[in-house]
Amino acid sequence: MDKKGTKIAYFVACAVFVVLLVVLGISFKGAPLPEFVIDGETVQAETPFAGTFWSLLPPIVAIVLALISKEVYSSLFLGCLVGALLYTQFNPWHTIVELVGANYGIISVLADAGNMGIIVFLVVLGIMVDLMNKGGGSEAFGRWAKKTVKSRCAAQLLTMLLGVLIFIDDYFNCLTVGAVMRPVTEGHKISRAKLAYIIDATAAPVCMIAPVSSWAAAISGYVTTSDINGIELFVKQIPWNYYCLLTLVMIIVTSIINLDYGSMLKHEYNAQVKNDLFTTPERPFEGADDYEKPASGKSSVLDLIIPVVVLIIVCVIALVFSGGYFTPGEEAYQDFVVAFSNAEALALGGMIALVFTFIYFWIRGAFTFEKSMESIPHGFIQMIAPILILTFAWTLCSFTRFAMYSAEFVRAAMANAGSLKLFLPAVIFIIGAAIGFATGTSWGTIGIMAPIVVAVFDYSAEPVLCTIGLAAACSGGVMGDHCSPISDTTIMASAGAHCFHLNHVFTQLPYALTVTSVAFVSFILAGLIQNVWLNLAIAIVLMVGTLFVIKAVVSKKNAGIFEEMAEANKKMVAEAK
């Protein structure tokens, strides 16, 4: 916060939130504790703010402060603090205890096996990336890419293709695609912000439309109806899932027509013309991209491909095995899709792949044992930033979703929307996007919205509207998660691209909002027309047409910038020859 205006805005926002908390403390003092019926049982909340709009205040505080200050750590911490204050009804000592404690606080989210599995996987991948750098794999892959991938368009589409191929899990997708494609995009002067956007846009959206993924397993479990099983309904919603499908269309079109706008244009200009991939001075992964040559022997592109392929294969096997595919009596027995819901297996697969990578480079003679051990602390250090952000984001979600029952507020709000009927899919999309943005979790958002959709639309009477409604809920959850600075997938994409987190958030927002606008119109038309392929064709035409209009406007407004970028690109191509 170097600018005076930013400091003033930040302190004004803090003052507004403090006053609001004081008013809430006075207004809700002595208020009765609400009760909710959850899974057929009556549950009494521990705070009067539960199930009200104010249950969403903690993430609102975190997001507003992060957008103003462009500093994510303190913003997330203050959001968690507000959550603890509301939960304990402003008791100072209990606030500190709950913020740190094992009920909903930091200790509770770190004690969760799934969360810890993600942290272990992050650290393992950080160590593997450092090993591949030291072994010369990244440097060799960069050399190969410069010879094989001839253009910026090809580099971007190759990044997207790799993201589409790794569809089993979004966390795995973000980190693996980032590790593989950083040297390729760096060779073609693609900014880290653009790389982070492509990674993020082919992580959750791809997993959401892949029938075999951890997402398919999770979402099918949220849908309970006697008329159709969850997996079948998930598959049926895929061609209606406009946000996810149009996001992929946008990547293809913007890559082909070389379109950048908003703050992304500045990042791409600096990358191409000034050879600055980062634009801002923040370097959270400084030194991690200094690709090294092996201490002995000649590096090969296989030094990167083999460890990554082994990682993918082992993680898939681990997901299926630990998910219960081979265990009689388990829910996932002989059910390939449901077995993918156990994301803790990523840690197991990552550890096995890490051991393989150590042994591989020792046999190759790429470096000594002592040199390889340096990668352990180096890889861990590179992942400290995303681990901190994830921890605070999980804590914030814990207070919002579990301690203060934010889902009940959404259910109550949706109960009065049934009369909209044909326009309800578009309304569901917007509500889902708002919840996803505020909470930073698409899974949590869809977990809230999907049962509501099935309850509002009876599948036996209105199968098409029910399917469109589920697609709208899934699209909205992904959209909000995609844009939110507190989203774990957004954080992972920043980590995978080695991009300063808030640079990624700000640069991808105009792109995500463009797709959101077209998707919103498409959901309105879907409710009215209800023809799956006609509606999909209309949505794609609207998306492509919108991008060409933006291209015409932006090219005219920034003609000089695009000329400089074109000249720099021609020079880079000539040098490559």
Report pLDDT for 231: 66
Best CA proximity match to 474, nearest among 214, 234, 224, 221: 234
**Cα pseudo-dihedral 381, 383, 389, 395, rounded to 10:** -100
What is each CA distance from 241 to 353, 424, 467, 479, in whole angstroms? Answer: 34, 15, 10, 11
Length of the chain: 577
Which residue type, as a one-letter code, is found at position 409? F
Percentage above 70 pLDDT, the chain = 85
445 pLDDT tier (thresholds 50, 70, 90):
confident
What is each CA distance from 188 to 184, 192, 280, 433, 564, in whole angstroms? Answer: 7, 11, 19, 34, 16
Tens of pLDDT along 285-335?
665 555 555 555 577 888 878 888 888 788 778 877 776 666 676 666 666
Report pLDDT for 337: 56
Report pLDDT for 43: 86
Task: Look at residue 74 and give its three-state secondary structure.
Answer: helix
Against a cut of 0.75, is the pTM above it? Answer: no
Best CA proximity match to 243, nearest among 546, 545, 513: 513
In the predicted structure, residue 422 carries a pLDDT above the cut 80: no
What is the token pair recorded at 571? 């020079």
For the segment 563-569, the average pLDDT, to the nearest whole number, is: 84
Tens of pLDDT along 273-291?
888 888 888 777 665 555 5
Largest CA distance in the chain: 75
Highest mean pLDDT among 103-117, 306-320, 405-419, 546-560: 546-560
In the predicted structure, residue 219 carries a pLDDT above the cut 70: no
What is the token pair recorded at 58? 């903690």
Which of the two residues, 288 and 466, has the higher pLDDT score? 466
φ, ψ at 252 (rounded to 5°): -60, -50
Percentage above 90 pLDDT, the chain = 29
Report pLDDT for 275: 87
In the predicted structure, residue 170 carries a pLDDT above the cut 90: no
In the predicted structure, residue 158 carries a pLDDT above the cut 80: yes
HSE-up of 543 (CA within 13 Å, CB side)? 27
88 pLDDT tier (thresholds 50, 70, 90):
very high
Which residue type, as a one-letter code, is found at position 142? G
Which of the two residues, 333 and 117, has the higher pLDDT score? 117
Q: How many C-beta atoms surround the C-beta of residue 497 within 10 A?
A: 32
Question: How many whole angstroms separate alpha carbon 339 and alpha carbon 274?
Answer: 48
For the segment 15-27, the average pLDDT, to the nearest whole number, is: 92
Report pLDDT for 576: 63
Report pLDDT for 416: 60
What is each CA distance from 221 to 197, 384, 494, 514, 542, in whole angstroms? Answer: 29, 33, 29, 31, 33
Highest mean pLDDT among 35-49, 52-66, 71-85, 509-523: 509-523
Highest mean pLDDT among 287-301, 378-392, 482-496: 482-496
Round the average pLDDT of the chain to a whole number and report it. Answer: 83
Report pLDDT for 139: 72
In the predicted structure, residue 221 carries a pLDDT above the cut 80: no
Report pLDDT for 455: 66
What is the token pair recorded at 313? 């294969």
For the segment 108-120, the average pLDDT, to the nearest whole number, is: 85
For the segment 209-237, the average pLDDT, to the nearest whole number, is: 67
In the predicted structure, residue 147 carries a pLDDT above the cut 70: yes
Report pLDDT for 534: 96
Report pLDDT for 186: 85
Which of the two residues, 513 and 385, has the higher pLDDT score? 513
Which residue type, as a one-letter code, is found at position 55? S
HSE-up of 117 (CA within 13 Å, CB side)? 18
Which of the two residues, 173 and 64, has the higher pLDDT score? 64
Element (H, E) at 69: helix 57-69
538 pLDDT tier (thresholds 50, 70, 90):
very high
Tens of pLDDT along 186-210?
888 899 999 999 999 988 888 788 7
Element (H, E) at 42: strand 41-44
Do 197 and 155 contact (CB within 8 A), yes or no? Answer: no
66 pLDDT tier (thresholds 50, 70, 90):
confident
Report pLDDT for 93: 93
Which of the two residues, 315 and 494, has the higher pLDDT score? 494
Question: How many whole angstroms separate alpha carbon 289 and alpha carbon 179?
Answer: 10
- Residue 38 pairs in a beta bridge with 41
Best CA proximity match to 316, nearest among 279, 297, 343, 296: 343
Highest mean pLDDT among 131-140, 546-555, 568-577: 546-555
